A and B are shown apart, each in its own frame.
Chain A
Amino acid sequence: MTDSKYFTTTKKGEIFELKAELNSDKKEKKKEAVKKVIASMTVGKDVSALFPDVVNCMQTDNLELKKLVYLYLMNYAKSQPDMAIMAVNTFVKDCEDPNPLIRALAVRTMGCIRVDKITEYLCEPLRKCLKDEDPYVRKTAAVCVAKLHDINAQLVEDQGFLDTLKDLISDSNPMVVANAVAALSEIAESHPSSNLLDLNPQSINKLLTALNECTEWGQIFILDCLANYTPKDDREAQSICERVTPRLSHANSAVVLSAVKVLMKFMEMLSKDLDYYGTLLKKLAPPLVTLLSAEPELQYVALRNINLIVQKRPEILKHEMKVFFVKYNDPIYVKLEKLDIMIRLASQANIAQVLAELKEYATEVDVDFVRKAVRAIGRCAIKVEQSAERCVSTLLDLIQTKVNYVVQEAIVVIKDIFRKYPNKYESVIATLCENLDSLDEPEARAAMIWIVGEYAERIDNADELLESFLEGFHDESTQVQLQLLTAIVKLFLKKPTETQELVQQVLSLATQDSDNPDLRDRGYIYWRLLSTDPVAAKEVVLAEKPLISEETDLIEPTLLDELICYIGTLASVYHKPPSAFVEGGRGVVHKSLPPRTASSESTESPETAPAGAPPGEQPDVIPAQGDLLGDLLNLDLGPPVSGPPLTTSSVQMGAVDLLGGGLDSLIGDNNFGAPPAAAVPARVGAPIGSGLSDLFDLTSGVGTLSGSYVAPKAVWLPAMKAKGLEISGTFTRQVGSISMDLQLTNKALQVMTDFAIQFNRNSFGLAPAAPLQVHAPLSPNQTVEISLPLNTVGSVMKMEPLNNLQVAVKNNIDVFYFSTLYPLHVLFVEDGKMDRQMFLATWKDIPNENEAQFQIRDCPLNAETASSKLQSSNIFTIAKRNVEGQDMLYQSLKLTNGIWVLAELRIQPGNPSFTLSLKCRAPEVSQHVYQAYETILKN
């Protein structure tokens, strides 16, 4: 007979009948009754009325009956707290039972009874069980502490259970260790600040030993816990990695992914030249691929994580493209993820295969998937320049299929391709126009209208096409309306004679008949522009658009680094930091990848610069406050270096100059016989600057003999405007990295803390590569020097002037805004030397109207010195010619966003005026390049 009989009910009150059976004398009947009760419970029926009767059955030596009653208790104790007390005695007695199974069962169940009154009675038995001789009981008790903490955190702390739990980490039994770690992790999650899991090399060692011996679930807990540890140097990181690597071959995919997390995180600390680094990279690929052969649910989670890993370290899976090919029976959510990863892995080497696959996908039946596949083709075109042509022809083939949604999607992506490669594929416009009528989605219509407006001069019947859209203007979505308005204005500016009527019509439609404020305002702006200054209108509306960036959907690097620390968790599935979605802000601890603190690296790297300073830095006695040495001591004993590697901070006081100047000259003379030519005058000319800070700066300059010219620091934010905070700074470029050297001075009377910095979007996507780290609070009259590393992967918006940078700095007092102009030469990249042939071809290729000529006056240099000076700022001389007594230098440079600038510098011996001709596809940079030339040559 099976248990399904327990679900059948009799007509006479069920509860009543059960009650009678529960009170029966026969053991067998009692057990059956309890089973019936449990069965009702499983389907969500309320059987709490039977509480006293069920509890009466608890005093039994039949283990099964006992277990069943316990099951019941866990469910209903909360609704009957007073009755639950009745059970306490039995629990306490069971905790003393000679059978460890019963002891464990009792302590386990007690923890599940979420009644405050019971918890008081629980403490004593729990304490005993935590020290029980049987590991099975100990491990159950460890979990019980976590349960109790969830009910009454204060009680757990008062009773000292947390310390006992910490002791269990050193338990001899690996299973106990794993459970203690799990319990501590759960408790720590609700107390982000508490330092419960105090990890040190000894405890790490114990965990690693337990890792090999405990169950798979325990391994997951231990690995997740290990991931929170920051090793002190790369050797420790490597040894942990070595011991974690075997977990990659575990059959449980959660263990594998947790191990991947630990490795990905600690890898950050390993130097890339290390042999071990390469071995580790190779070992990571196969397990990740194997995860893809598991059940679809596991695949989905694995793919979301692989998506992150591929963005962080594309080299791991770059040869594994094929495993991401979609299978016909993959669920749709797996297919879409695979597609995403395929695009990320697409490169010149495999693009042919990828395109062939994508083309197949575009003929599938699932609409969402097909759309994404078509979009993917467009993204490939934008990502891999060499493939653009094939992608475009593939898209054209797809348009020929005339499948409605394929065509629409293709048009949307072709618009992006036009933006990326202007003046290359416009020949396809005719084909696009044929499909005008089939477009019914706003996005596709808007894209098509944009194309028509942008290339109005090449489309003969552009006015007719746009007019046809205009007929149903009011029925269109806002997106289409806005695009139509802009397109018609563009058309008018290009063909003013024939389209006057059309433009008036659209302007009146937009301004008079529309309720949408965006549309109306844009209409008015165009109207006024056109009526007051058509030339200006032309400049505004037909301005050259910045090229779109390659991958718009990449995760921002700081977020990516944080997410790497969360591999395998929900955060990695949602690609959001836990703080963005975890309920109630619990467990919001920002994790970050460990900084690279290679112990074996030579001292010339900037981050170890303080170590290179004179030995006076580490005195045995603590000197009086205000003393220079004291400040240095503060600097060294300050918070552990968790900041960005390039940060160098020094503390400056009035007394510094005395010693500082001496040190400066000493070091300057002896150690740096040939300091960078451009750097020295800058230091001397610096208005404020202590010897010490110079010392540090110079030290960091050692490794960078090719560092480009650095302007003296200028005051960006006067103290008056920023409640006492004065910021001065400059931009530097050293071996390929840009940094912003800041000097913060506190001229207020209160201490400043909590500094942070943020940039507005700017023309070249400059963004801080690391947060602003001011370690100690800035006390009144104190100055701190900071080098903030920058990168150029931020979001891009064209600024006026082009090199304008808007900065917001925050401290505990307020937020301050200022803007500054950065010299363009910090953006000149090291590989800006163009091949001679290339140079000639490009020079011819760029239209003459893009040429700009400038005069550089009062520059008494000859061609050689000028050339070498420019070279140190990454302006490369490609050829030199002498024409009629004049020296002609042909030079090239490249900006961080890939724009090439070609220059011809004419130098007449004896004449201090140079003539500079610049040619560039983006002529607006010329003015700033000229300014850069001038500053470099004159300093």
Chain B
Amino acid sequence: MIHSLFLINCSGDIFLEKHWKSVVSQSVCDYFFEAQEKAADVENVPPVISTPHHYLISIYRDKLFFVSVIQTEVPPLFVIEFLHRVADTFQDYFGECSEAAIKDNVVIVYELLEEMLDNGFPLATESNILKELIKPPTILRSVVNSITGSSNVGDTLPTGQLSNIPWRRAGVKYTNNEAYFDVVEEIDAIIDKSGSTVFAEIQGVIDACIKLSGMPDLSLSFMNPRLLDDVSFHPCIRFKRWESERVLSFIPPDGNFRLISYRVSSQNLVAIPVYVKHSISFKENSSCGRFDITIGPKQNMGKTIEGITVTVHMPKVVLNMNLTPTQGSYTFDPVTKVQPLQIKSTNMGCGENYTTKAPKS
């Protein structure tokens, strides 16, 4: 199982280490740095690296590398999922998962890591439980603590930990009982040169924010559940009920959580709300070229488009470019060669186009 964890920042400093079994020397990270150098780009570091005695499984989140050291045969997905969970927890506790935030709260981080993993086995990863064990830092609490001498460590066993619903804590009380659901859908499409869709699918999630007292039992039904090709549920959802009636029935955790994520891949159902056309040309005997892209809304959609951001990843050989958008604002980052263009309009005209002149090296 998971032996050790190293947190490494972008400049390659190991700024935190935690060992759950015997101590593994920092030098093991040299193999990671080697792989990082080879990969050139931070995003391209392979997630599983083998070294003579250990395996390094890493994730890259918020400009930090979470590198875990393992020694025996374990499911790498297990480790990766866990590392993401660690990052999520930091995010949840400190508002951001950055080097500064972690250094500022190093003791809490340490306590959290100890609480999340025991001997390499995950212990408590539900944020509701963790928050009962270790209270998140707030200004008010630190003031109170310094006056009363109490600590931010809970001294009773979290109630939810052992019940059949470990995700919910007991005794929740709100004066205003409310529940919010955000449905976020992402259309993922590959459009070929001629503008026709090669592949399109919808990745959707329903994020919930539940502030209800006691033990609420909720059910949520869809107009047309057959559209969903594959769903992944939060553990709170009763699977049997979904199988038989296609109704989501659940006792929710308290606070923010992801209720379900789903995928719609039937080609004919996925309509892309914009059209994209482009042309690219190079001048003969010159290192310059011209790149046009035209984007406009499709009229047949029910809703108007409120804003569009176009991001173009230019190859590394591009040195500089002149942009002339017909609408919106643009920037160009010469380091990452990314060129985002923002078009915000409540009522978009029939076509936007902008021209890029890109001298190549």
Q: Which residues of A contact B (CB under 8 A)?
A: 1-4, 6-7, 27-28, 31, 35, 38-39, 42-44, 62-65, 67-68, 71, 75, 78, 99-101, 108, 111-112, 114, 134-136, 140, 143-144, 146-147, 150, 173-175, 179, 182-183, 186, 189, 213, 215-217, 220-221, 224, 246, 249-254, 256-258, 286-287, 289-290, 293, 295-298, 300-302, 322-323, 325, 327-329, 331-333, 353, 356-357, 360, 365, 566, 568-571, 573-574, 578, 581-583, 586-587
Candidate in B14, B105, B114, B126 with the most chain A CB atoms within 10 angstroms: B114
Closest Cβ of chain A to B218, distance in Å, is 17
Q: Once bound together, how far apart are the Cα atoms of A289 and B41, in whole Å?
A: 27
The reply to whether A42 and B239 contact each other, CB–CB distance below 8 Å, is no
How far is it, in angstroms, between the C-alpha of A329 and the C-alpha of B186 when the chains are bound?
15
B75:A224 contact, CB within 8 angstroms: yes
Q: Is B180 an interface residue (CB 8 A)?
A: no
B317: nearest chain-A partner, CB-CB: A365
Contact A3 B106 (CB under 8 A): yes
List residues of chain A with CB within 8 A of the CB of B21: 112, 114, 150
Q: Return chain B residues, CB-CB under 8 Å to A35.
A: 107
Q: A38-B110, A67-B111 are in contact. Are A249 and B77 (CB under 8 A)?
A: no
Find A75's partner among B19, B72, B125, B313 (CB 8 Å cutoff). Answer: B19
Instruction: List chain A residues, Cβ under 8 A from B59.
Output: 295, 297
CB distance from B60 to the nearest CB of A (A): 8
Main secondary structure on chain B at its contact with chain A? mixed
A333 touches B75 (CB 8 A): no
- Give the nearest-CB partner of A574 in chain B: B50
Instruction: Flag whether B198 is at the interface (Cβ < 8 A).
Output: yes
Knowing A75-B23, A290-B230, A300-B47 are in contact, say whether A135-B162 is a contact too (CB < 8 A): yes
Q: Does B217 contact A (CB under 8 A)?
A: no
- In the bound complex, CA of A494 to CA of B104 (Å): 79
- Please, which residues of chain A bring their CB within 8 A of the CB of B26? 44
Q: Are A587 and B73 in contact (CB under 8 A)?
A: yes
Q: Is the CB of A568 within 8 A of B77?
A: yes
A-B interface, 3 closest residue pairs, ranked by CB to CB distance from nearest = A286-B230, A64-B151, A2-B104
Query: Known contacts A63-B155, A189-B72; is A143 also within 8 Å of B104 by CB?
Result: no
Q: Are A301 and B153 in contact (CB under 8 A)?
A: no
Neighbour of A257 across the interface among B22, B75, B100, B151, CB < 8 A: B75
Q: Assuming A44-B14, A251-B232, is B149 touching A27 (CB within 8 A)?
A: yes
User: Can you give 23 A-B contacts (C-beta < 8 A)?
Assistant: A4-B104, A4-B106, A43-B15, A44-B17, A68-B107, A75-B19, A101-B155, A135-B162, A215-B122, A215-B126, A217-B121, A246-B243, A253-B81, A256-B232, A289-B263, A290-B230, A295-B84, A300-B47, A327-B188, A356-B192, A568-B77, A569-B73, A569-B74
From residue 153 to 168 of chain B, which have CB atoms closer than 8 A to chain A? 153-157, 161-162, 164, 166
Given contacts A216-B125, A217-B125, A246-B240, 16 further A-B contacts (CB under 8 A): A2-B104, A3-B107, A7-B106, A28-B146, A43-B14, A71-B114, A112-B20, A186-B72, A217-B82, A217-B121, A250-B232, A289-B230, A328-B313, A333-B46, A583-B71, A583-B72
* Pair B114/A100 contact, Cβ less than 8 Å: no
| Complex-state Cα separation, A587 to B70, whole angstroms | 15
Known contacts A112-B119, A252-B81, A323-B265: A578-B231 contact under CB 8 Å: no
Contact pick for B156, options A99, A217, A287, A297, CB 8 Å: A99
Find out whether the CB atom of A300 lies under 8 angstroms from the CB atom of B190.
no
Cβ contact of B76, chosen from A38, A174, A329, A570, cutoff 8 A:
A570
Residues from chain A with Cβ under 8 Å of B146 in the complex = 28
A249 touches B75 (CB 8 A): no
CB distance B235 to A250 under 8 Å? yes
Please tell me if the beta carbons of B235 and A216 are within 8 angstroms of each other in the complex.
Answer: yes
Binary flags per residue of B179-192, CB closer than 8 Å to A gives 1, else 0: 00000000010101
- Proximity string of chain B (289-325) to chain A, C-beta cutoff 8 Å, 1 when within and 0 when not: 0000000000000000000000001011100000000
Residue from B81, B119, B164 in contact with A213 in the complex, judged by beta carbons closer than 8 Å: B164
- Which residues on the A side are within 8 Å of B126 (C-beta)? 215
A249 to B198, CA, bound (A): 27
Q: Given A62-B151, A111-B119, A254-B81, A573 and B190 touching (CB < 8 A)?
A: no
Per-position contact with A for B226-240: 1 when CB-CB < 8 Å, else 0?
000111111100011
Chain B residues near A216: list those with CB within 8 A.
125, 235
- Nearest A residue (CB) for B39: A332
Task: Give the residue of B20, B55, B77, B263 whose beta carbon is less than 8 angstroms from that of A298.
Answer: B77
A286–B233 Cα distance when bound, in Å, is: 14
Contacts of A332 in B (CB 8 A): 44
| Chain A residues in 8 Å Cβ range of B114 | 67, 71
Task: Evaluate contact between B106 and A249: CB separation under 8 angstroms.
Answer: no
Min CB gap A264→B, angstroms: 14
- Taking CB atoms, residues of chain B closer than 8 Å to A333 are 44, 46-47
Contacting A at CB under 8 A, from B177-234, are 188, 190, 192, 198-199, 201, 203, 229-234
CA distance A278 to B243 in the complex (A): 18
- Taken residue by residue from 75 to 93, chain B's Cβ proximity to chain A (1 for < 8 Å, 0 otherwise) reads as 1111011101000000000
In the bound complex, residues from chain B placing their C-beta under 8 Å from that of A251 are 232-235, 258, 260-261
Chain A CB within 10 Å, residue with most, of B59, B235, B258: B235
Contact with A along B88-117 (1 / 0, CB 8 A): 000000000000100111111111001000
**Closest Cβ of chain B: how far from A788's Cβ, in Å?**
32
Q: Is B118 an interface residue (CB 8 A)?
A: yes
Q: How far is the CB of A191 from chain B (nearest CB, A)?
A: 13
Say whether B16 faces chain A, with CB atoms less than 8 Å apart. Answer: yes
Check B106 against A39 for contact (C-beta < 8 Å).
yes
Complex Cα spacing A215 to B242, Å: 20
Residues on A with C-beta less than 8 A from B22 are 78, 114
Q: Is B277 an interface residue (CB 8 A)?
A: no
Give every chain B residue within 8 A of A215 (Cβ-Cβ).
122, 125-126, 166, 235
Across the interface, name the chain B residue whose C-beta is closest to A179: B121
Residue among A65, A215, A220, A297 with the highest chain B CB neighbour number at 10 A: A297
Q: Is the CB of A2 within 8 A of B55?
A: no
**Residues of chain A lying within 8 A (CB to CB) of residue B326:** none
**Given known A573-B48, A587-B73, contact A136–B78 (CB-CB < 8 A):** no
Cα distance A323–B23 in the bound complex, in angstroms: 42
Answer whether residue B18 sits at the interface, using C-beta atoms and an 8 A cutoff.
Answer: yes
In the assembled complex, which residues on chain A have CB atoms less than 8 Å from the CB atom of B230? 249, 286-287, 289-290
Choose from B20, B75, B151, B232 the contact partner of A63 (Cβ within 8 Å). B151
Contact B106 A6 (CB under 8 A): yes
Q: Which residues of A contact B74 (CB under 8 A)?
A: 569-570
Contacts of B133-161 to chain A: CB distance below 8 A: 142, 146, 149, 151-157, 161
Are A246 and B239 closer than 8 Å at their CB atoms?
yes
Closest chain A CB from B324 CB (angstroms): 24
Which residue on A lies nearest to B262, using beta carbons?
Answer: A290
Whether A254 touches B77, Cβ cut-off 8 Å, given contacts A6-B106, A44-B17, is yes
Residue of B nearest to A215 (CB): B166
Whether B130 is near chain A, meaning CB under 8 Å from some CB there, is no
**Interchain CB contact under 8 A, B75 and A297:** no
Task: Collect the chain A residues with CB atoms within 8 Å of residue B242's CB.
Answer: 249
Query: With A64-B151, A71-B110, A323-B201 given, is the CB distance from A329 to B313 under 8 Å?
Result: yes
Interface pair A570/B48, CB less than 8 Å apart: yes
Give the residues in chain A near B152, CB-CB below 8 Å: 64
Of the residues A252, A254, A301, A571, contact of B47 by C-beta under 8 Å: A301
CA distance A63 to B78 in the complex (A): 31
A571–B18 CA distance with the chains assembled, in angstroms? 26
In the bound assembly, the distance between CA atoms of A100 and B155 in angstroms comes to 10
Contacts of A217 in B (CB 8 A): 78, 82, 121-122, 125
Nearest-Cβ distance from residue B233 to partner chain A, whole angstroms: 5
Whether, in the assembled complex, B283 has its beta carbon less than 8 Å from a beta carbon of chain A, the answer is no
Question: How many Å lie between the Cα of A100 and that of B20 in the bound state?
Answer: 22
Residues of B within 8 A of A173 (CB): 162
- State A571–B149 Cα separation when bound (angstroms): 51
B-side contacts of A290, CB under 8 Å:
230, 232, 261, 263
User: In the complex, how many angstroms separate the beta carbon of B170 from the nearest chain A beta carbon?
Assistant: 15
Tell me which residues from 16 to 51 in chain B have a Cβ below 8 Å from any Cβ of chain A.
Answer: 16-23, 26, 41, 43-44, 46-48, 50
